[in-house]
Amino acid sequence: MTNLDAKKGCILGSQRFRTMKHALILLGAVACSLVSKALTDPNACGHGLRVRYPRTQSGLINLNSESGNEWCAKNWEPIPEDWATGQSTWPLGRPLPGDLVDEGKLLLFMKTEVISRAPWRRPRLQKQRKRRLDAAVAVGQVVAAKRRRREESETIEVATAPAAAVETKVEEEDEPLIAAPALELAYNSVRIYIAAIQRLYDEQKSRHINPAPRPQGIALKALKKSILAVVWARKRKEYSDRLEGTIKDTYTKAQIPRHHEVAWREDSGEISCLFRTQVDFLFGNHMLLRQSNRRPMELPDCFRLELPNEGQKSKEFPTYALVVVMNQGKTNQHGRMEYGAALRHRDARCCLVSALAFYLFWRWQVEQVEPFPTFQCSEDWYDIKVLRRSAKEATKELSAQTANSWTSRLYAACGIRTSKISHAPRVAAAQNADMDGVSEGQIRRAGRWNNGDQLTGCYLTSLPFEFMRSTADFDPDWSGSYFLPRDTVKPPFELCARIWPSLDRWKEIYNTGSSNMETNKATGAFFELLDWFREVLLQDAVFLQKLYPRHPLFQDPVFQSPQFASFALQVENACHAAEEDSYVATIDRAIPAVAEKLRALSSQQTAANLWTERAFVELREQVQRLEKKMEELAKASYTITISPGRSTVTQRVGMPKRGRPRAPGRAPTATAMTTAPRDDSTAPVPPSSSNAAEAECGAVLQPDTATRLPLPPVAPSVPSVPSVPSVPRFEVPLDIRRIPDLWHLWRYGRAGMPSVESLEARYGAAWRPKSQKSVFCGRKAIVDFILRKSRERDGLQSAAEHAPRVIAQMEELCPKWSLDKVTKAIKNGDLERRWPAEA
């Protein structure tokens, strides 16, 4: 091990320098010290600082202590004091002392210690060792075969070698000549070394102790270009995977259900970790979230958003989206507001919303370790992570190492082979959306690659609707294609209340404001999200329970109840009715675009049929309730006594007794009697015993109540009772502004309203509201003026004939006057004075 290796291990293992940033800075300082010694002593890099490096019992590195200062003064040249003032007297061309950085030291260090060095770990080294081992095994097979056949032949061919047939001549000494080429550091690793040393230079420059220019001149750029120029040749020399980093280095949509199956079928006792890994994977696939955005996500960052222009565009079947708000990330260091959104998937196995609902249901109800959150104040639930570390550490962030370990485990189980781990969903989802025909702008918006402008970040919703439809397995170009048959059947309230029972109590407290609970928008939005999760969980559980009937989640009493069994049958019937016909499948193979349109139209028709069927059921229930009330009313008996004038007409209607239904289609019998005239027309009729019994049983009309109505005299021979017509209610139209229209309304009426003359003659003032009394009187004054002027010509008989001429004369005298102005002119006599004598 060289001195640089030892120092790097000591520095990176130090407890003081826990961050890679500080470790790389100190690594740059050690590298520069080695380069400084190498300029005068070629063996300094290999042996110079190995013995003289300060060591302590605890292994800590403290260059600011007294022992550290003594060690620096002993091994490095002192820094001139005038450098701190910017007045450098150091001779040009002479190497800088100590650990001060310049471009010459950087180039020498990179060339001698970094570029040609092999990697210490990572997959490249593992693959190299495997190739060496395979080569040694192949050579051993060849050597053993040569020794067995040395006497028979001078050459030997072995077909079991990993490569093609190997031909080897017999030698006196058998040497394993097959060996893999030596590895070198990749460009990214070299770039990290350069960045660390340049950062050290920046700190020295800020302290005014380094007079050299920044080490980024032409020589360093040429070094970088020379490394990049041989990347392709180096990969071919190392036989690296040609498809690594290409569009083939990802997964397909067909592998997502397999990933779900592994998470639900694996019987390892870590169900919570499996659900968490599935949610983590789908967050990256549906929202293009980086792992740095997924792990810190908390409950108040999630909410439900209604999309009125998506799906069926109906109040009966609204379309919702799961939205996550973010204000930090790799490309968002300034608190810019960003969003990620996802719709429910056509397949419940690939649905992010469903996976998150089941994960929270497992955490808060089935597992019975983490309690349901309390929402008394923001501090009680704001810190709870969506992807928690463990059941007892719900507020602790999941570590990247644990997340990558579980992700790799599920990738291996479901057959996903990719060189990326946490970043694979972000890459694969973008590529799959591009192949589905989603525009580049929508993919950029979904991945938040263009959210730097103010319009997108502050004013628009930033939701990539085309990308969301594509990810949910629907037509990205047609908003009406989004339709889920299972979402048309809503679970009953009693069944939803058994999911997170504490939620209803907190909602009631939040809505009434009866306690000291802190109310904010995030709390209300999260309650709406959990309400939606209840429906999603119950609807998708119908299908997942059939796939995994023995899963511990479905042993919860909610899924064993008869209410859920009835609801599951309704969901299955709705989905079965929405299945496409065979001719649609035939068209799908011939004209996919037309088939997609037909499929969406069929979905819309199915939704309309379900709504019509539901409305019909409700209407039938209302009719049954009305029939029941009519049956109760039909069992009553009552007597009506009417005294018109000086005669008394009595009508007695007899109904069947309660408990004896009358024959269908047979009307009640009525008997009318006319008595002689009486002086006392208001004497009541004494109730009979049968009527009193009916009243005690709850009859609609009390039998001892006599109804007296003023009617015209009735002849004794008339056996029927005249009916009193009901008074209709109309308002004087206020949209009439011309005298001819007012006359037409008064004499002939308009659509939906009889003439005012007929209403006045039949009902008097009862047909119009009292609030329009002044309006009616004003309009009536105009009509009376027209009638009076018409009668002055030839009398009453010809008033209707002369009315048009009077109206024309009024239009001429009152051009473009309002009806109110005409009324005032009539009342104050102005119109009468202006009226011509010959008219």
Structure tokens belonging to residue 561: 């109840």
Which residues 6+ apart lie within 8 Å of 370 measured at CB? 363, 364, 388, 391, 392, 394
Torsion sign across C-alpha atoms 396, 402, 404, 409: negative
Round to whole Å and give the CA distance between 808 and 811: 5
Task: Name the average pLDDT for the chain.
Answer: 75
φ, ψ for residue 649, nearest 5 deg: -110, 125
Cα 719 versus chain centre, distance: 73
CB burial of residue 477 (10 Å; 0-12, 13-18, 19+): middle
Which DSSP symbol is given to 473?
T
Ordered DSSP codes for 269-305: S-HHHHHHHHHHHHHHHHH---HHHHTT-BGGGEEEE
Ordered DSSP codes for 781-797: HHHHHHHHHHHHHH-ST
Q: Checking DSSP bridges between strand 388-390 and strand 338-342, what pairing results, if any?
A: unpaired
H helices within 415-555, ranges in order?
Answer: 424-435, 440-446, 454, 465-471, 493-496, 502-512, 521-547
Which DSSP symbol is given to 255?
H
> Which pLDDT value is given to residue 277?
96
Torsion sign across C-alpha atoms 526, 527, 532, 538: positive
Round to whole Å and give the CA distance between 510 and 375: 9
Other beta carbons within 10 angstroms of residue 682's beta carbon come to 10
Return the domain boundaries, the chain: 3-117+186-237, 122-169, 255-575, 635-724, 739-834
Round to whole Å and give the CA distance between 793 and 785: 13
Which DSSP symbol is given to 91?
P
Of the candidates 733, 735, 741, 738, the residue with the CA atom closest to the CA atom of residue 815: 738
Secondary structure, 3-state, 562-628: HHHHHHHHHHHHHHHHCCCCHHHHHHHHHCHHHHHHHHHHHHHHHHHHHHHHHHHHHHHHHHHHHHH
255-575 topology per CATH: hpI Integrase; Chain A (1.10.443)
Of the candidates 536, 556, 551, the residue with the CA atom closest to the CA atom of residue 263: 551
The Cα-based distances of 738 to 486, 741, 760 in angstroms read 59, 5, 22
Other beta carbons within 10 angstroms of residue 121's beta carbon come to 7
Round to whole Å and give the CA distance between 72 and 697: 111
Round to whole Å and give the CA distance between 54 and 73: 12
> Which pLDDT value is given to residue 99?
73
Q: Checking DSSP bridges between strand 638-642 and strand 155-158, what pairing results, if any?
A: unpaired
CB burial of residue 168 (10 Å; 0-12, 13-18, 19+): middle
14 in the Ramachandran plot: left (φ > 0), alpha (ψ -120 to 50) or beta?
Answer: beta
> Which pLDDT value is given to residue 548?
94
Using alpha carbons only, give the angle 346, 349, 354 rounded to the nearest 5 degrees: 80
Using alpha carbons only, give the angle 685, 691, 696 rounded to the nearest 5 degrees: 125
Which DSSP symbol is given to 459?
I
Structure tokens belonging to residue 290: 């980086």
H helices within 342-478, ranges in order?
Answer: 352-361, 400-414, 424-435, 440-446, 454, 465-471
Round to whole Å and give the CA distance between 762 and 793: 29
Q: Checking DSSP bridges between strand 166-169 and strand 388-390, what pairing results, if any?
A: unpaired
SS3 169: strand
Cβ contact 470:438 at 8 Å: yes
416 in the Ramachandran plot: left (φ > 0), alpha (ψ -120 to 50) or beta?
Answer: beta
Which residues 6+ apart lie within 8 Å of 494 measured at CB? 563
Of the candidates 274, 286, 278, the residue with the CA atom closest to the CA atom of residue 425: 286
Round to whole Å and give the CA distance between 194 and 201: 11
Of the candidates 489, 264, 468, the residue with the CA atom closest to the CA atom of residue 346: 468
Ordered DSSP codes for 652-696: EEE-PPTT-PPPTT-PPEEEEEEEPP-S-TTPPPPPPHHHHHHHH
Tokens 């579980």 correspond to: 406
Round to whole Å and give the CA distance between 143 and 443: 58
Of the candidates 147, 144, 413, the residue with the CA atom closest to the CA atom of residue 260: 413
Round to whole Å and give the CA distance between 100 and 95: 9
The Cα-based distances of 508 to 399, 504, 505, 523 in angstroms read 37, 6, 5, 12
Amino acid at 457: G
Structure tokens belonging to residue 149: 């056949």
Helix axes 20-40, 3-12, angle to 10 degrees: 160
Round to whole Å and give the CA distance between 766 and 750: 19
> Which pLDDT value is given to residue 393?
92
Round to whole Å and give the CA distance between 355 and 547: 15
Amino acid at 441: G
Report which secondary-structure segment, H or E, holds 157.
Answer: strand 155-158
Round to whole Å and give the CA distance between 367 and 361: 9
Of the candidates 536, 537, 282, the residue with the CA atom closest to the CA atom of residue 410: 282
Length of the chain in residues, anyone? Answer: 839
> Which pLDDT value is given to residue 278?
96
Round to whole Å and give the CA distance between 502 and 380: 15
| Sequence-distant contacts of 238-247: CB under 8 A, at least 24 apart | 238/124, 238/127, 238/128, 238/180, 238/181, 238/183, 239/131, 240/124, 240/127, 241/419, 244/419, 245/419, 247/431
Round to whole Å and give the CA distance between 380 and 388: 15
Which DSSP symbol is given to 560?
G
Round to whole Å and give the CA distance between 654 and 661: 13
The Cα-based distances of 273 to 227, 366, 388, 397 in angstroms read 42, 14, 9, 14
Please list the ranges in the chain whose pLDDT falls under 50. 1-26, 34-53, 57-58, 60-61, 154-180, 581-583, 657-724
Which residues pair with residue 284 across a beta bridge? none
Round to whole Å and give the CA distance between 837 and 839: 5
SS3 750: strand
